[in-house]
């Protein structure tokens, strides 16, 4: 029988509390390939070290989503978490990452890596946010239902002008223009997204602009939506975002904010910051409402975070199916990084460690009250 280190046995005993085995054979068990490196990464309790250890191939797990689900549900992460550096991480998140000079970093680092990757992974409309799975049978339907839900929540009418802050490849803009006859201005910080959005929205009343929301200078819109962009705003800028939105929204207009939200902690993950979403953090619901209260009446909050688990698992299946073609451009390290990203997020949403909020805001309140579509 192989002799293992003290650290290996320590981790083995800890994971057993969540019915996870080291070198077990079940999908959620961890297979150790490099004991010294893998165990050291686990014992540090830091996301960056653990993520990089997986990317190197120090350890494997067939179903990382199930592993993460068991770890969080049994609070194993809290037992190994090394709190050193968390304060500095929070300070960096709030006062460094939110600077305007860093606005286009996320576009270059994440959204510009290749439209081929996202075309293969996402639905036919290329919606890179949580789908709405009520009455939906597949990813395409879940995203169409979500886009239509947003249009109904803002009471979109033909000919109205809509601003989409962080609209990516123009998925909402194209849908709103085609299905509702809206005139949409879509802004994003990604050059590749703009390029494809122009192609996909050709012939429609859609304008795609490469710009940061802080540079907006337009006449007020009938409505504003921001779908999956607020995670890149950062806490020092929440109130500024609301101020700019209020300035660009007509007095009787509606702002819909669609964002992932955290329950506790700093909203920052060092591994995701380095490899997936630089200069980003997850807001809490209380931070959003505090920032918005000065400028808006909060009409409605809907939480369908459980639907993000389903969405992410569909993205993972699409990514896996397309990998034989994608691997000619992206290397094995990228494959492990992207797989870790999708499956850890799915596991987190599954145990409701994070959630997805759609928040409807108006400047003066809806006369007689707002009746939220579901």
Stretch(es) of the chain classified as CATH 3.40.50.150: 100-362
**Nearest to residue 133, comparing CAs of 305, 262, 348?**
305
Residue 80 predicted with pLDDT over 70:
no
User: Which residues, listed in sequence order, are joined to residue 254 by a DSSP beta bridge?
Assistant: 223, 362
Residue 103 predicted with pLDDT over 70:
yes
pLDDT at 86: 38
Residue 291 predicted with pLDDT over 60:
yes
Mean pLDDT of the chain: 92
pLDDT at 47: 86
pLDDT at 90: 45
pLDDT in tens, 8-22: 999 999 999 999 999
pLDDT at 81: 52
Over residues 133-147, mean pLDDT:
97
pLDDT at 76: 86
Q: Who contacts 78 (Cβ-Cβ below 8 Å, separation ≥6)?
A: none
Q: Who contacts 293 (Cβ-Cβ below 8 Å, separation ≥6)?
A: none
pLDDT at 98: 63
> Which of the residues 61, 130, 151, 345 is marked catalytic?
345
Task: Estimate to the nearest angstrom the gap between the alpha carbon of 312 and the chain centroid.
Answer: 10
Output the CA–CA distances (angstroms, integers) from residue 13 to 8, 36, 43, in the order listed.
9, 17, 13
* Structural contact between residues 100 and 216, judged by C-beta atoms closer than 8 angstroms: no
Which is higher by pLDDT, 62 or 89?
Answer: 62
Percent of the chain with pLDDT over 90: 86
345 is catalytic: yes
Whole-angstrom distance, CA of residue 147 vs CA of residue 142:
9
**Could you tell me which CATH number the domain at 100-362 has?**
3.40.50.150
pLDDT at 210: 98
pLDDT at 44: 79
- pLDDT category of residue 264 using cuts at 50, 70 and 90: confident
pLDDT in tens, 19-49: 999 999 999 999 999 999 999 888 876 889 9
**pTM of the predicted structure, to 2 decimals:** 0.93
Residue 82 predicted with pLDDT over 60:
no
- pLDDT category of residue 85 using cuts at 50, 70 and 90: very low
Biggest distance spanned by C-alpha atoms of the chain: 74
pLDDT in tens, 347-365: 999 999 999 999 999 999 9
Whole-angstrom distance, CA of residue 102 vs CA of residue 279:
7
pLDDT at 126: 98
Whole-angstrom distance, CA of residue 171 vs CA of residue 299:
25
Residue 260 predicted with pLDDT over 90:
yes
pLDDT at 96: 52
pLDDT at 293: 96
* Structural contact between residues 129 and 227, judged by C-beta atoms closer than 8 angstroms: yes
pLDDT at 77: 77
Whole-angstrom distance, CA of residue 169 vs CA of residue 127:
8
């Amino acid at each position: 029988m192989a002799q293992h280190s003290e650290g290996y046995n320590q981790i083995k005993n800890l994971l057993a509390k969540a019915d996870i085995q080291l070198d077990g054979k079940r999908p959620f068990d961890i297979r150790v390939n490099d004991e010294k490196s893998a165990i050291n990464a686990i014992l540090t309790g830091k996301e960056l070290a653990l993520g990089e250890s997986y990317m190197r191939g120090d350890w494997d797990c067939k179903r990382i989503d199930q592993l993460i689900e068991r770890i969080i549900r049994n609070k194993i992460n809290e037992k190994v978490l090394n709190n050193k550096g968390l304060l500095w991480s929070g300070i960096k998140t709030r006062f460094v990452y939110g600077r305007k000079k860093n606005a286009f970093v996320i576009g270059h680092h994440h959204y510009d890596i290749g439209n081929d990757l996202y075309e293969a992974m996402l639905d036919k409309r290329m919606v890179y946010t949580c789908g709405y799975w009520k009455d939906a049978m597949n990813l395409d339907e879940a995203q169409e239902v979500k886009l239509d839900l947003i249009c109904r929540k803002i009471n979109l009418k033909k000919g109205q002008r809509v601003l989409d802050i962080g609209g990516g490849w123009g998925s909402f803009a194209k849908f709103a223009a085609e299905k509702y006859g809206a005139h949409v201005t879509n802004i994003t910080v990604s050059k590749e997204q703009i390029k494809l959005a122009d192609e996909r929205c050709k012939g429609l009343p859609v304008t795609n602009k490469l710009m940061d929301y802080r540079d907006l200078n337009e006449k007020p819109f009938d409505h504003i939506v921001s779908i999956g962009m607020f995670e890149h705003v950062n806490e020092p800028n929440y109130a500024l975002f609301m101020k700019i939105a209020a300035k660009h929204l007509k007095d009787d207009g509606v702002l819909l904010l669609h964002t992932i939200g955290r329950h506790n902690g700093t909203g920052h993950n060092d591994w995701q910051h380095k490899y997936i979403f630089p200069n980003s953090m997850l807001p809490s619901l209380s931070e959003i409402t505090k920032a918005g209260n000065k400028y808006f009446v909060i009409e409605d909050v809907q939480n369908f975070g459980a639907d993000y688990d389903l969405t992410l698992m569909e993205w993972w299946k699409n990514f896996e199916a397309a990998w034989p073609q994608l691997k000619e451009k992206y290397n094995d390290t990228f494959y492990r990084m992207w797989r870790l990203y999708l499956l850890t997020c799915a596991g987190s949403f599954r145990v409701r460690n994070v959630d997805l909020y759609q928040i409807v805001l108006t400047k003066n309140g809806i006369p007689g009250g707002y009746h939220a579509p579901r």
